[in-house]
Structures are given as structure tokens and as C-alpha cells.
Chains A and B, each alone.
Chain A
Amino acid sequence: MSRQTLSLRFLQRAMALSAVATAATLCATGAMAQETFKVGIVSFLSGQAAESFGIPAVNGAKVLLDAFNKGAAPAPYNKPGFGGMKLEFVYVDEAGGATKQVQELRNLYDREKVDAVVGYVSSGDCLAVAPVAEELKKFLILYDCGTPRIFEDNKFNYVFRTASHGAMDNVALARYLKAKNVKVDSFNLINQDYAWGQDSKKDFIGSMEKIFPAAKVGQDLLPKFGAGQYGTEISALMSKPADVTHSSLWGGDLQAFILQSGPRGLFKRTQVVLSAGDHVLPGLGEKMPDGTILGARGAYGLMSPKSALNDWWWDLYEKAYNVYPVQAPYRMVQSLLGLKLATEKAMAANGGKKPTHEQLAAALRGMEWDSPAGKIKMALGNGHQAIQDTAISKTRWDAGKKMVMLEDIVRFPAECVNPPADMKAEDWIKAGFPGAKGCP
């Protein structure tokens, strides 16, 4: 065998090896480029909570997914996907009760192999799934549910809530009444008979006892969730007229209550205050009585602060769905923005690799980030429970614009209407809001 032949063979082998090596490198690069970050999104896609909360929130997630993957969000959210990883969402219906949701959550982690779960409107579902995620040591963000008990009665490492709990809404309502010098010698209540309604009622009564100590509770009504018919309740509220009528009704129940009580003149006889009423405004339009005081569970929708991020988000959502975003999509977007920053922070600490559930949890714990509704601070529950600013306002139908406008907006800093880190909301309210800062 000649030296020339050997050289040729050597050259052929070298070329083959280099081709294999190049192919392997390309494959590896391809794999990196193809790497995805999979998120399970759980929200009501059917049933009574779908129209008001579940579907608008999922709609918000969908437009955001697209913007994230294109790298079209404004800085600091402008890296494509999550730190270069393509983002993928798996949607799950929250309807069916807590037992079903526990199973669905396990499926998301075990079968779908999601990297994170963001979800849950119902307080009952949140209370049921949080311990399961903790037991599985999997990362979970609760984006909406209101009960303060989740992080006040438990300690979690892998579970977070990226929005304020319900105490804020009722403290802010009571403070608004005081700020606007509304006469309150008596007040009636109508709230749904489940965790959300009961907690809202308790927080509002507690706040009123401190801010309006002379005010007396009149009617205290607790219709069931999904009652639909409120004729009897409206009669009961009109039988014992009060200066103020408080309600945390939401969705179809709130719409039915307004449609039935408006024509009977309830809103003219009493100052109605709604703790979570913004989401019914686009649908009800001129049927929404003027002068109703309402909150949105944050500075959302028509009460959102002016910022470049909010303008971008508002346009993105409005162009896609021909309606402006209200509380549910706002709560979804603030959770996903937080998740994106936490993931990228964890990746940076992990040498650019996809973070584990532990690393994600470590990154989000105690984090702060800007959202369209203002700053979100993971200040409570050992850095697992968010606080945020909120706003309360009054309704007015604008015939020219053919929409309900919100005026007399009063903004409340997060530290004014949320308890400090070392106190339960109920104790904080009972103690007269110690440490509250920046109240208007």
C-alpha cells in the first residue's frame, strides 16, 4: 500500500469524522434552538366563571405567548421566549371541582412534563392544589384566587401567588368611602355563600368597624353562587334601607343582580360599592347605574396607571379581542411577566441552562417586577405572596363614547391596603391597620 493511498484514506476518514462532528454540533445547536419551556395554564374554560374570568385570562395568555415568542414585548421582557427557549402553553379547564383539579395538576407535571403551572381562579381550587404541588416539589403560580388563607395558614417552597389577596379590595373600599366623605351610618351586605364571599364580607365589616366605628350592619345576605334570581334579596335590601350596600358578587351573578336591582331603584336608594366589579362594565354598558363605587382587585382596566408597558399591553389585547382588558387578563399578564423574569434570572444563575423547579422557586421568591398595573412585590408569605397597588372609582355612562367611564379614581399604594409581612390580614384589620403607609 502506497503512502499516497494511506494519506487519501486518512483524509477520507478525517473528512468523515469532521462531517459527523459537524452534524452532531448542528444537531446539538438545533436541540438548543428547539428547547421549549412548557407552561400549564389552568383557568375556567367552561361553567359560570368562564365568561368573566377564565376565558379573558386565557385570551390574555394567548396574545402574550405570541408576543413573547416573537420577542415583541417591551424591555425588560423583550428576549424571545423565555431566555431564548420557545414558550409553549398547555391549557386545562378549571371546571369540575377541587378533586378533579388535583388530578389535572398531577397530569400536567407527570404526563405533560410542564416546567411550571400558572392557574386557578377559585379559592377552593387554590387551597386544594397548593399542597399537592408542594408535595411533588413542582413550581406553581396561583394567578387569581382571593382567599388570604393560602399563605397565612401554610408555608410553601414551590407555590406562589402573583396578585394581592382579597383583603386589599375591601380595605381599599372602606378607605375610599372615608376619602370621599360618604355618609355611612349603616351598611347592608350581599355576598356569595362560599370562601370568596365570606372572606370579603368579613374583611369589609372589619375595615368599616375601624374606619366608620359608628356604622351599623343591616342586612347581611348570603345567596348561593350562581343563584341568578335576586328579587327576594333586593326586596330585603330595600326593606332595611342603608347608606351603603357592599357586594363582592362577580360574573353572571353580579350582572343579574345589577339587571334586576337597577330597574327597582336600589342603586338610587343606597350607595352600592362593589369590590370586584370592573369586569362587567364592557358587557353591561349603559345598564350599569351611574355613581356605583367599584374596585377591580388591582389597578386594572380603566383604572390602570399610565405607562409604556400598560399602553403596549392594552393595545395588544384590544386589537386581538376588540375589547379592553379587565382584571382577569391583567392578573394573568402580571403572573406571566413575573414567570418570564424569574426563569431568565434562574437561567443566568444556571449557566444559561433551563432551570429546575427549585431554581425557579428560588428566583421568584421575594422578587419585584413591573406589570401593566404597576409594581408587583412578592412581599408576604416569606416572599411567596404578592402585594400591589390598587384603585377605586365611580362609574359614569358616557353616551358619546358609548362606554362606562370610571371617574373620581383614588389610588392606594400596596403598603396602605395590604398587611405587613408578619401579620395575617384579619389580625391587621382588627388591629386598625398598623404600619399602613402612603394612604391618601
Chain B
Amino acid sequence: MAATLTILIDGLTYASWLFIVALGLTLVFGVLKILNIAHGSFYALGAYMAATFVAWGASMQWAPAFSLVAMLLAAVAVAAIVAPLTERGLLRFFYGRDEVLLVLVTYALFLILEDVTKLIWGANPYFVSEPYAMFGNVDVGIQSYVGYDFALVGLAVAVGLAVWWGLNRTRQGKIVLAVIHSAEVASSMGVNVSRVYMLAFSVGIFLAALGGAFTAPMISVQPGVSVGVVIVSFAVVIIGGLGSIEGAAIGALIVGLARSLAVHLAPVAELFAIYVVMAIVLTFRPEGLFQRIQARKI
């Protein structure tokens, strides 16, 4: 029983981190039809920006609770500055082109942003672990968890609900859904599709940066943090179905639990456990768990 509880908690905490990042990835694909390889770079930018903001807050001797606000502001800053620049300055020129070309463009962007982060922050690591201790520890049986991990679960739930509510219960959200359904028809109905694209891309980048910002206290922020997260995020959205919020949530939970089960019961299988699950899902549901089969436009 204790072992099962540990596996569930570990799966859930891993899934929460993953969900926040994967949600941004699936949103960008859902609206803009872009498989954004550079998503991990925005995650890294969020982590670096959070490290800078938290360190600045500490140097100003602001209350420790400010570091949580600083991390949120870091994600907002990345979304407000980098997302419009990327979408308006680069991606819009490739809309309507082959999806493979867009993958290559975002891959190039990923490489560029890797160097940009090094130019700005250098190669030395940044540590902002103070917020990690802010929530104390929670003992569950023989395990001692850090309260911050549970706070991340709460953040993931809040973010998921906010995005779902925003898309399904607000006028702006319904406009976005209309664009997802058909950008052409939405445009003919007077919707400013370019604006919707920029907005959706900014929200997607905000989520990537938010994931990075709230992960920063648990890691050493340094070159290369962007690589691993984007690969596993792709696994999540492929399992859940590209463009589906519910799919991202379920996909993250499946990946988190599969990894947790593997680490606890068969550590040697840890690396491929996630991809075995992905292969099984794709065998029976090639379009992912929550993606409806769509007729191809000719």
C-alpha cells in the first residue's frame, strides 16, 4: 500500500511539471499547426529569467514569498517579449507552408535561442533553490516530500482549469476555437486571425516559460536544460492527441505514472517505459487518445 502511494505521488508530481509545459506545446499546435521544437528553449528562457528575477528580489531583500511572484513575472516577461517577436518576426512568414518546413524553422530557432541564452547568461549555472524550501516538508510513510512539489501539482491543476475555462467559457476562447476549426471561415466572419495566432502563441510560450520558471528552484539553470523537456513533452502530446488539453493532462499522467512504475519496479526499463506506452497508444489510436479523426482537406 505504501509503495503504491509512493508510485502515485511520484507519478503525479512528475506529471504536473510535464503537463504545464506540454499544455503550451499542444495549444500552439492546436491553433497554429506548428510542431514547435523551440518550445524547450522558451522553457529554458523561463528558467533563466526566473533565476534573474529571484536573485534580483533577494538582492533587494524582498520577502521570500516574492520569489513566487518573481517566477510568475519571469514567465510573463518571456511571453510578452519573446513570443510576439518570434511569431510576428519569423513564424508568420511560414504559415500555410509545409508542416515539415515549420518543424525545420523551429529547430533552427531552437539552435539560435540556445546560443542567445548563452550570450545573455553565459555558461555558468544559476541556483535559485530558496523557493524550493518555502513550503517545508510533507511526510508520507517513510518518504519525506518537499511541499513545493505538491504546490506544483496545485499550479498545474490551476493552469489546466484556467486554460480550459478560457477556451470554452470566454468569448475570446470561442474565437480561438473557431480559428482552430477553420481559420478561413473565421477570417470571413471578421475574426482577426493574425491576432489570434499571436495571442495563442504567446499563451503557449507563457506556459513553457512558466514550467521553466517553477522548475528553476529544483535544478541548476545552465545550457542544455531545454533538450530533455521538449522530447518528453512531445511524447505527452502524441499520447494525448495533438491539440487537445484533456489529452495533454491524461498524457502527462500516463507518462508520469509509467515512469514512476518503471523506476520503482523495473529501473532498467525507465528509459523506454514512456515510449513503450506511446507505441501502445499509437497502435490502437494513431491520432492519440483525445484527437478526433479528421478528414483531410483537398
A-side contacts of B217, CB under 8 Å: 259
Q: Establish whether residues B114 and A238, one from each chain, have CB atoms under 8 Å apart when the complex forms.
A: no
CA distance A238 to B129 in the complex (A): 22
Query: CB < 8 Å: which of A219, A224, A239, A283 contacts B143?
Result: A239
Kindly identify, within residues 193 to 226 of chain B, every residue whose CB is under 8 Å from any CB belonging to chain A.
Answer: 215, 217-220, 222-225
- How many of chain A's residues touch chain B, expressed as a range? 35 or more
B-side contacts of A221, CB under 8 Å: 263, 267, 270
Flag A158-197 by CB within 8 Å of B: 1 or 0 each.
0000000000000000000000000000000000010000
A-side contacts of B66, CB under 8 Å: none
Q: Tell yes or no: A423 within 8 A of B by CB.
A: no
Flag A11-32 by CB within 8 Å of B: 1 or 0 each.
0000000000000000000000
Q: Establish whether residues B127 and A284, one from each chain, have CB atoms under 8 Å apart when the complex forms.
A: yes
Given the known interface contacts A236-B263, A238-B143, the answer about A227 and B129 at a Cβ–Cβ threshold of 8 Å is no
Kindly identify, within residues 254 to 270 of chain A, every residue whose CB is under 8 Å from any CB belonging to chain B.
Answer: 255-256, 259-260, 263-265
Q: Tell yes or no: B115 within 8 A of A by CB.
A: yes
CA distance A241 to B227 in the complex (A): 32
- How many of chain B's residues touch chain A, expressed as a range? 35 or more
Kindly identify, within residues 224 to 238 of chain A, every residue whose CB is under 8 Å from any CB belonging to chain B.
Answer: 224, 226-229, 231-233, 235-236, 238
CA distance A223 to B267 in the complex (A): 8
B-side contacts of A47, CB under 8 Å: 223-224, 227
Query: CB < 8 Å: which of B133, B142, B149, B270 contacts A231?
Result: B149
Q: Establish whether residues B223 and A256, one from each chain, have CB atoms under 8 Å apart when the complex forms.
A: no
CA distance A36 to B86 in the complex (A): 46
The 3 closest A-B pairs by CB, nearest first: A48-B224, A255-B220, A232-B10
Contacts A/B (CB < 8 Å), 28 sampled: A46-B118, A47-B223, A47-B227, A50-B222, A50-B223, A50-B224, A51-B223, A51-B224, A222-B268, A224-B228, A226-B224, A226-B228, A227-B228, A231-B10, A232-B10, A235-B6, A235-B10, A236-B264, A238-B142, A238-B144, A241-B142, A252-B219, A252-B222, A256-B219, A259-B218, A263-B132, A265-B137, A287-B129
A interface list, Cβ under 8 A from B: 46-51, 55, 193, 219-224, 226-229, 231-233, 235-236, 238-239, 241, 252, 255-256, 259-260, 263-265, 283-284, 287
Instruction: Please give 14 more A-B residue pairs, beta carbons under 8 A apart, in addition to A222-B271, A228-B228, A232-B263.
Output: A48-B223, A51-B124, A51-B125, A51-B220, A51-B224, A55-B123, A224-B271, A228-B225, A228-B229, A229-B14, A235-B10, A236-B264, A263-B137, A287-B129
